[in-house]
Structure 1
């Protein structure tokens, strides 16, 4: 069975708009030197998912880098540089929310969960102090990736096709989804207070405490910390991060503990390597991700071309004893005259679990992002 989502019309119109031309983000500076910067992006694409028996087709917002609008207000104060940031998703139906069940997301469904950032950030000689809705210290700690192919694919497989279900060997749909099996322990955004130290020989340390205020019935307390390093070693540019998360569950239900780490290495030749992984300290769940890529500006005249091959392995996510293996081929082409990128990502999924047998699945993502 092949179907097309209700987001098709808006996605098609938006993708056509990408070819109409590029706009530039605008900066406005007041007489006292305060600067307002407006920005945004539209990232839409086609997703085809083959569960081994049927193929499902969808058009929508691509969660690897969701469509958004935002602005910053910068002010130089006596205590340091102060920035206010507001950023929201557009509420467009996401490819990660489609599935074979037919319960597709609305074309546009903006709600408070779309609020990404509403924060005040103070930067001075003592570090960076952040208050409000925004990134916890480990948000992105497992996602460092300089391959140039993150639009086509990252370690967060659920962002692209997370709601699709794997099909049992007998042809029936299981209750196990892509995001159930291909899980990761990266941090997130919360209403939080956060502190990051000044850089010292390439190192910074961050810590945060937050609450989930955008979802109902969540009274958990969230804590995390991360150590980051970035620097050059000969012809190599290296970034690395390692972090830990603690979630104190409401009603004295215990504390969830997870760890996460990643590193990305770019050689002057354009060859790059990304490694990431993490796990649950309370259980045996763990995941490992690797990506080998190449970036060059010599293949086209419109911008850099990046290609990569990726591999993700997970254990004990979704159901006890489950094992997920997936590999992918990724391509991203920058289109500088339009301030845009076009990308393609193919993935193959293999899942096993005690007492169950699943058919292999495949997905194909084709999309474009326009930024301003």
Structure 2
């Protein structure tokens, strides 16, 4: 796909999202405290990746917040509530699933696109108990963020271009992909049992055990714990923080332990925010991440947000390697249509002890429409 065609396709997708009427999935209620709510989102994006030698233009689904649909079916039992949660991605071509040699399928759904098939029992006194495919306790632990640009810029810096390979200084494609050396060690979704405590002065404690039930011939087992803190009423400030640890065992691979933490602070009167994150894997590498954001009401459409961030990692793919990335992003909310338009630019640099690689960059331009 040439650049003009890709840009026109992206513009058409963006125009479709903005022109769509504002619509939110309805909630249906019964007379006994039961309810049914459905929801979803589309997030098409134009991706342009420059590997230092060639440029590749694609129309993709934004991996940072992919297109999906789901519903929640809830029933009250006195002061407690039982909820069934179903959610699936559409399986559209993902921004981290294309490369120099492959554009992937425009649509390819399989069971690994299931995000939630989850039963939750939320009690007033003892917290919430969950079972089924869904988020582990440490899912999202690295992503504390008050910047307003999280749809396209965050600690998961590989999301815009994770499948592309770095080129060597001689111009050859290497075996090292962006996604291999830029990771946040954040917890994911598995078939699991999970417990979340009630909030104690803003603190919520979580623990889970899970296994990968969506892949065949897989015996991965993960145990994790996490603690989160949220407080939007610290005077002029809002604070979100999280800390977690996960232990994973799988036949044929070394056992591993991940420790991840993040914190985000917003100064509400000025709209300025700062986010910090850090993670370490005991058998691999570590990273640090910082993000500065600014949010303001510059138009009547909705909030406008800007951010700049920086990621620094080491020992991710081999001992002695280093990976750096910086990016800038802007988002514009269009409240009447539940749309969030965005534009972002990111650069990647990688080096190891044996090879010199060219720097690369990616542009992401698109819009997320929630319904």
Q: Same fold (TM over 0.5)?
A: yes
Q: Is the 8 A contact 2:69 2:87 kept in 1?
A: yes
Change (3 A) 1:6 1:73: farther
How far apart are residue 31 of structure 1 and its match? Answer: 3.3
TM-score, normalization by structure 1: 0.94
- Residue matched to 2:248: 247
Secondary structure of the residue that 1:218 maps to in structure 2? Answer: coil
Q: Is the 8 A contact 1:5 1:104 kept in 2?
A: no
Change (3 A) 1:47 1:66: same
How far apart are residue 274 of structure 1 and its match? Answer: 0.5
1:124-172 Cα distance to aligned partner (Å, 9 max, x none): 1101111111100000001111210011211112222100111110111
| Equivalent runs, 1:259-278 vs 2, <5 Å | 259-268=259-268, 269-278=270-279
- For structure 1, the residue ranges without an aligned partner over 5 or more in a row are none
- Residue matched to 1:233: 234
Secondary structure of the residue that 1:326 maps to in structure 2? Answer: strand
Alpha-carbon distance in structure 2 between the residues aligned to 1:156 and 1:89: 18
| Equivalent runs, 1:68-217 vs 2, <5 Å | 68-78=68-78, 80-101=80-101, 103-124=102-123, 125-217=125-217
- Residue matched to 2:317: 318
- Residue matched to 1:330: 329
Q: Is the 8 A contact 1:6 1:104 kept in 2?
A: no
Change (3 A) 1:104 1:8: farther
How far apart are residue 296 of structure 1 and its match? Answer: 0.7
Secondary structure of the residue that 1:337 maps to in structure 2? Answer: helix
How far apart are residue 370 of structure 1 and its match? Answer: 0.4
Change (3 A) 1:11 1:38: farther
How many positions carry a matched residue from both structures? 367
- Larger deviation, residues 19-28 vs 272-281: 19-28
| Runs of 4+ with >3 A deviation | 2-16
Secondary structure of the residue that 2:43 maps to in structure 1? Answer: strand
How far apart are residue 11 of structure 1 and its match? Answer: 6.1
- Residue matched to 2:51: 51
How far apart are residue 19 of structure 1 and its match? Answer: 2.6
1:222-242 Cα distance to aligned partner (Å, 9 max, x none): 100001112243311111111
Alpha-carbon distance in structure 1 between the residues aligned to 2:12 and 2:321: 41
1:27-57 Cα distance to aligned partner (Å, 9 max, x none): 1112333110010000010010111111000
Change (3 A) 1:191 1:7: farther
1:200-241 Cα distance to aligned partner (Å, 9 max, x none): 121111000001011122102110000111224331111111
Q: Is the 8 A contact 1:5 1:58 kept in 2?
A: no
Alpha-carbon distance in structure 1 between the residues aligned to 2:254 and 2:30: 51
- For structure 2, the residue ranges without an aligned partner over 5 or more in a row are none
How far apart are residue 24 of structure 1 and its match? Answer: 2.2
- Larger deviation, residues 82-91 vs 253-262: 253-262
Q: Is the 8 A contact 1:229 1:239 kept in 2?
A: yes
